[in-house]
Amino acid sequence: MIRKLLFRALPLFLVALLAGLPAQAADKKQLNIGATAGPFSDMIRHSIKPWLEARGYSVKVIEFSDYVQPNLALAQGALDANVFQHIVYLRKFAADHDLQLEPVAQVPTEPMGLYSRKHHALNELKDGDRIALPNDPTNEARALGMLAKRGLLQLKPDTDPVRASEKDVAANPRHLKLLPLEAASLPRSLDDTDYSFVNGNYAYASGLKLADAVDIEDLGDRYINVVAVRSADKGQPFVNDLVAAYNSPEFKAFIARTYPEFSKPQGW
């Protein structure tokens, strides 16, 4: 009798157990994907979303205007994936905020450019010019690295190139005025600065063309943007399908038509 009761209770116990599992443990078909406005949200909307929906998914694209909320939303479960950041930023943000997030795929990315509405070339730069740059640590380091490579300032010898800040500037012979600003506001800063570094996604979203930049970074593999998910979801079917979408021939053809100037992941 006891054995029969146990067997009858087992299905109810399993239902209760499964109900208590996180949503990502189930076979998810409703996906919320976050991205910054511009190319990365457009890539999802016009290529990734149709690819996934043809395979039974329902996809909602959620746009963000900053580099903080997308990772917090992902960690808290409001998103299933996000696309806006490179691996250096992801690792630092996750470590600083004790978040369990993982990159699962690389995404074609527009390099950071140096733009100006007052000058046509970098050699027009004058002593004391005002230069705006991103105020988040990893992207500020990218901008400072570009200035150092062009001989416009010097960084301390022991500076970590992916964590450089204004404190690491050893010499500024041209007396440049460095103005760290929120990355999303950099396109708007062009009316008030001599030069402004602008991250690729914000440049594209604001109508700035890469061909108009007075200088362009050598992006390198470390600054190619990534698709990020929660560590606990890595290997889940929906993550595997999301990675497959970003590696699909359809997506590569879309990029070739729409963003031919973007830096591509290795193996493309």
- For 164-215, the pLDDT digits (tens) are 999 999 999 999 999 999 999 999 999 999 999 999 989 988 999 999 999 9
Tokens 């109810």 sit at which residue? 12
The token duo for 156 is: 């301390």
Q: Provide the residue range defining the domain that includes 53.
A: 30-109+222-258
| Total number of domains constituting the chain | 2
User: What tens digit of pLDDT does each residue of 112-148 get?
Assistant: 999 999 999 999 999 999 999 999 988 999 999 999 9
CA–CA separation, 134 and 237 (whole Å) = 36
List Cα–Cα distances, 113 to 127, 171, 178, 264, in angstroms.
21, 23, 16, 16
- One-letter amino acid of 44: I
User: Which DSSP letter does residue 215 get?
Assistant: E
Say whether both 177 and 246 belong to one domain. no
Q: Are strands 154-155 and 169-171 parallel, antiparallel or unpaired?
A: antiparallel
Q: Is residue 4 in a domain? A: no
What residues contact residue 140 under an 8 Å CB cut-off, 6+ apart? Answer: 133, 134, 164, 165, 166, 180
Question: Would residue 41 count as lying in a domain?
Answer: yes
Query: Which residue type does 83 have?
Result: V
pLDDT confidence tier of residue 4, bands split at 50, 70 and 90: very low
Q: Is residue 22 part of a domain?
A: no
User: Both 123 and 213 in a single domain?
Assistant: yes
Which has more pLDDT, 132 or 38?
132
Contact 141, 165 (CB under 8 A): yes
Is the Cβ–Cβ distance between 245 and 48 less than 8 Å?
yes
Interatomic CA distance for residues 259 and 257, integer angstroms: 6
pTM of the predicted protein model? 0.80
Return the DSSP state at 263.
B
Query: 10 Å Cβ neighbour count for 96?
Result: 9
Amino acid sitting at position 98? D
CATH number for the domain harbouring residue 144: 3.40.190.10
Query: Is the residue at 203 inside a domain?
Result: yes
| 136 and 202 together in one domain | yes
> Is 169 inside any structural domain?
yes
Q: Are residues 189 and 253 in the same domain?
A: no
